[in-house]
Structure 1
Amino acid sequence: MTTYAMSPADAAWYHMDGPANLAIVTGVLLTKDPLDFDRVRAVYQARLLSFDRFRQRVVEAGFPLATPHWENMAHFDIDQHLHHIALAAPYDQAALRALISDIASTPLDLTQPLWQVYVVDDVEGGSALIMRYHHCIADGTAMMTVIGKLFDTTPGAPLHPHGTTDAAPAGQPAGDGLLAPALDAIERAAHDAMAMASATVNVVTHPQQAINQAKRVLGGAGMLLGELLKTSDPQSPLKGEFGLRKHVAWSRPVAIKDAKAIGAQHGAKVNDVLVAAMTGALRSYLKGRDVDVDHTTLRAMVPVDVRPPERAGELGNEFGLVLLDLAVDSARPAQRLARTKAGMDALKHSPEPIATRVLFDILGRVPKALEDISNELYGSKASLVMTNVAGPRELLYLAGVPIDRMFSWAPHPGKELGMAISILSYRGLATLTVIGDAHLVPDPETITDLFNREFETMRRALKADTAKAPARKRAPRHVPR
């Protein structure tokens, strides 16, 4: 059977599964009206399966080193992936949280395409749809392409509204590349890095820009080495021995317009505000678990999208990683926001994302054992994964039913990262989610509640400062005689 080459970055993510920490993304959407399972099935059959990746399984192939490849699934059956279940009594958010925790704790079947969907009835009078997929299929940005194809902007859209049949190329059939020595990995990765760094620069017409881009790649490699030499994050309740059991939680939605107003007062962006509120929540959570928060460090591993514009509609993984120092040792919200803004601004100009993206290219071409060593070394420098994805801004529909809320959980693979925090926006609202090892973080809902409390504190401070601001004097009205 024909196999298709998997990109080195995707292969790196496929191998990132640990015995307890799985590289699986979980997403949820909630509807106030019930979903019709047969109609949902028809949508996924017609639209999701137009992406080859969702009809392909992963196989290890090649000599002398077997590497992951995509293989079309013979006799593919969508009913192996779509499940119709009902929520247990009392049919509330707590019951849904328990269900998602159970599902998130279960590995995917590696003999099948790596995704599952559950349509859940009786969720507070409506429905939930839970989708899980392995990270080797796509990153968060790429999944926005899938969302754009699955869901509609009007309730009565036809089943085939987009006209195209395949938004994800199958890839190149595997051939001589199977025999390429592993020692070529570094040379090829360096070539890819230079191509990536100069993708938007014409070397002939802008030679200095090309040189500067190349310097950024080389500087990123040096910075990455510096990151690897950093001391590890100290032991905390977020680090330790893992089990397969996961616990999940999600916050109440917060308004993007409020985050924008808070940020405007401090010269900060929406993301700065949301991350600062998350940092305040983690400070309170760790303090409640007897951590000396005034004298500790807490780093988050943050993905940064480096996808070239010409590959905007493709699946796969096109991001690098950076380490962000979270200001948990700052007691005041305004100070935390200022430090968060400074840290986020530094990341925007850092070559580190490209350097780690190159590292993924290298790791995807070496045996899993070597990749595990690198992941453990880099992962020890942080305590959690943090992602922030901008989702759809308008109301979307699934099988004719309006989607009320949408949020997701990123994985936290490896042996050191005991928790992942994700922020996803939809319809002008942002939701923060937490997934963590059930032993290390048995109460993730505490963190999401603290996030809402912290955000409300920042919002009230804005209102108070606005009320104190002196009113502008109005010009006297001219009354004609």
Structure 2
Amino acid sequence: MLLNLFGSGREAMSAVDTAWLRMDRPTNLMVITGIMFFDGPMDFERLRHVMENRLLRYARFKQRVVRSGANAYWEDDPDFDIANHLHLVALPGAAGKAELEDFVNEHISAPLDFGKPLWQFHLVENYQGGAALVARIHHCIADGIALIQVLLGMTDREAEGDSAPAPRKSRFVAGEREPDDPFMRLYRPVAKMYAGVLKSYAKVLGTSYGLMMNPGKIAEYTQTGLGITQGLAKLAAMPADPRTKFKGKLSTAKRIAWSDSLPLMEVKHVGKALGCSLNDVLLSCVAGALRAYLVERGQKVDGLDIRASVPVNLRPESKLDRLGNYFGLVFLPLPIGVANPIERVYEVKRRMEEIKGGYDAIITLGLLSVVGALPNAVEQPAIEYFSTKSTAVMTNVPGPREPIYLAGTQVHDLQFWVPQSGEIGMGVSILSYNNRVNFGVMTDKKLVPEPARIIERFGREFETLVLATLLSVTDSPPDPELAELHLGLLRMQSEAGRAA
């Protein structure tokens, strides 16, 4: 299981975690939000027992943040009480999706109490005949990869498995999770050496903020065989993302939406038929949904690209038992201007290929280490500068392939939303679980007041891509997988017609 923080007393916060702490602002709270949906009702006392035995084994969840000048520390909360963090609530009215969305929207814009450990769980006891668990955890505690592992460490593979503390080693190790993540395959060998790389080029990264403002000076500082200099130059020269309906002045209110899930195998079949990865297919559907939203609102999209900041896991194997933040960012330009769905998939694939072999993720992790150690007056302009480069944060997290249970109740589905930094006003989350794929969107209310208008288009974009794929292979010999995919599409259309 991730995280091995059984110590006590005061502990210095890492520079990267400090950077995420100081990114917190009213217009963009650095809080990761997730929901577990359950088939049936959940026993609140049993849930509390599981959390006391499995979550609170880790000191971080009983520690609060203490700031001292430019530094931050973790300190044991002398008045810790789980009742301050685990709440039982009931939804009003029909207690359906609309009511749960309202509940999450109300909380997602509210800051956590910095006088206590920075996390909350709300057990919604009456959601659609079952229950839902809404979790909010501050980004300075850990990145999404670590937090997913911690939350999964609270679960079991069977209903009666929560009577004892979870074993120290996670039961959902990387080899058991969905392997089709090109970023993970690409950066895993790089992650093993990133610490040495950053140390070797501390001079470059230590002066990086000034260099970003004057890219012509980068070559004066260092020449490296690892591409660090070129990577810094590329980031420095990257222009700001264009203004669209998704990018502008932010408010203090956020809105969330989530989709009906897609069958994972059908997404894989499309990818196989087109010679692309699952990730290529999913990201092209995201680009198509964003394009359709902009077109509907009268925005010209011909030739338009918007960048997504994509988190890349750089956690070395030696730090698999730690919380904290161990990821960098790569900037993926989404081909919004490409109308043809198959052309869009291939363009996404081409752009993903261009990212391979780069060091953007290592550089951004290093920059976070630097700015987190600098005064806040220096960090904030740096964060603002980088946030102009992207329109959205986009993350793809593979979850368990088989059903899991929490406190004796089966998890029917999972959903989460990532925070945005600086002036970024949209986050897109992709999460697979139990051979299904879910999409979640968080937007700034001022920019996109109804993110459901985006999320409802993901399924349509996938159906359009399926039809285009079938038409593109009509002259080929029959493929059993594509035939099954065609039947699956017909079932989806039939179900949609009945629902309408």
Normalising by structure 2, report the TM-score.
Answer: 0.82
In 2, distance between residues paired with 1:436 and 1:24?
14
Counterpart position of 1:461: 468
Q: Summarize deviations over 1:385-442 as a string: whole Å, max 9, x none.
A: 111111111111011000000010000121x211111111111111110011111111
In 2, distance between residues paired with 1:80 and 1:60?
21
**Which residue of 13, 31, 34 maps to 1:27?**
34
Change (3 A) 1:216 1:148: farther
Q: Summarize deviations over 1:93-150 as a string: whole Å, max 9, x none.
A: 1111111111111110111111000000221101110000011111111123202311
- What amino acid does structure 2 have at the position aligned with 1:313? D
Matched, 1:14 2:21: yes
- What amino acid does structure 2 have at the position aligned with 1:423? I
Matched, 1:366 2:360: no
Matched, 1:262 2:239: no
Map 1:273-288 onto structure 2 (within 5 A): 273-288=281-296
- What amino acid does structure 2 have at the position aligned with 1:193? L
Map 1:299-378 onto structure 2 (within 5 A): 299-378=307-386
Moved more, 285-294 or 221-230: 221-230
Aligned-pair distance for 1:52?
A: 1.4
In 2, distance between residues paired with 1:247 and 1:144?
22
**Which residue of 56, 59, 65 maps to 2:63?**
56
Moved more, 77-86 or 42-51: 42-51
Aligned-pair distance for 1:368?
A: 1.7
Change (3 A) 1:166 1:420: closer
Query: Tell me, which stretches of 5 or more residues in structure 2 are unaligned?
Result: 1-7, 172-193, 203-222, 480-500
| Partners of 2:274 and 2:469 within 8 A in 1 | no
SS in 1 for 2:281: helix
Counterpart position of 2:10: 3
In 2, distance between residues paired with 1:373 and 1:244?
20
| Partners of 2:404 and 2:410 within 8 A in 1 | yes
SS in 1 for 2:161: coil
In 2, distance between residues paired with 1:457 and 1:409?
26
Change (3 A) 1:165 1:334: closer
In 1, distance between residues paired with 2:421 and 2:318?
29
Matched, 1:401 2:409: yes
**Which residue of 37, 44, 47 maps to 1:40?**
47
Change (3 A) 1:469 1:400: same
Aligned-pair distance for 1:471?
A: 4.6
Change (3 A) 1:46 1:377: same
Matched, 1:155 2:159: yes
Q: Summarize deviations over 1:150-204 as a string: whole Å, max 9, x none.
A: 111111114324344999xxxxxxxxxxxxxxxxxxxxx986614799xxxxxxx
In 2, distance between residues paired with 1:52 and 1:400?
25
Counterpart position of 1:203: none
In 2, distance between residues paired with 1:377 and 1:245?
22
Q: Summarize deviations over 1:230-256 as a string: whole Å, max 9, x none.
A: 221111111222222111000110122
| Partners of 1:52 and 1:166 within 8 A in 2 | no
In 2, distance between residues paired with 1:294 and 1:153?
48
Matched, 1:245 2:253: yes
Counterpart position of 1:230: 238
In 2, distance between residues paired with 1:153 and 1:262?
30
Q: Summarize deviations over 1:297-318 as a string: whole Å, max 9, x none.
A: 2111111111111212321111
Matched, 1:220 2:228: yes
SS in 2 for 1:404: strand
Counterpart position of 2:120: 116
In 2, distance between residues paired with 1:164 and 1:265?
41
SS in 1 for 2:37: strand
RMSD: 2.2
Aligned-pair distance for 1:456?
A: 1.4
| Partners of 1:224 and 1:356 within 8 A in 2 | no
| Partners of 2:124 and 2:133 within 8 A in 1 | yes
Change (3 A) 1:360 1:463: same
Counterpart position of 2:493: none
Q: Summarize deviations over 1:259-317 as a string: whole Å, max 9, x none.
A: 11111122211111101100000010111122111143211111111111121232111
In 1, distance between residues paired with 2:278 and 2:225?
27
Aligned-pair distance for 1:470?
A: 3.0
In 2, distance between residues paired with 1:130 and 1:460?
36
Give percent identity, aligned residues only. Answer: 38
In 1, distance between residues paired with 2:60 and 2:197?
23
Larger radius of gyration: 1
Aligned-pair distance for 1:377?
A: 0.7
Aligned-pair distance for 1:54?
A: 0.7
In 1, distance between residues paired with 2:19 and 2:119?
18
Change (3 A) 1:9 1:292: same
In 2, distance between residues paired with 1:76 and 1:306?
32
| Partners of 2:154 and 2:166 within 8 A in 1 | no
Moved more, 326-335 or 306-315: 306-315
**Which residue of 71, 75, 79 maps to 2:75?**
71
Matched, 1:443 2:450: yes
Counterpart position of 1:207: none
| Partners of 2:289 and 2:457 within 8 A in 1 | yes
| Partners of 2:400 and 2:432 within 8 A in 1 | yes
In 2, distance between residues paired with 1:340 and 1:242?
28
In 2, distance between residues paired with 1:458 and 1:75?
55
Matched, 1:81 2:85: yes
Matched, 1:133 2:133: no
In 1, distance between residues paired with 2:448 and 2:159?
40
Counterpart position of 1:185: none
SS in 2 for 1:460: helix
Aligned-pair distance for 1:344?
A: 1.8
| Partners of 2:341 and 2:468 within 8 A in 1 | no
SS in 1 for 2:373: coil
Normalising by structure 1, report the TM-score.
Answer: 0.85
- What amino acid does structure 1 have at the position aligned with 2:198? A
Map 1:161-200 onto structure 2 (within 5 A): 161-164=165-168, 193-194=198-199
In 2, distance between residues paired with 1:345 and 1:165?
34
| Partners of 2:303 and 2:338 within 8 A in 1 | no
Change (3 A) 1:425 1:313: farther
- What amino acid does structure 2 have at the position aligned with 1:157? G
Counterpart position of 1:271: 279
| Partners of 1:268 and 1:341 within 8 A in 2 | yes
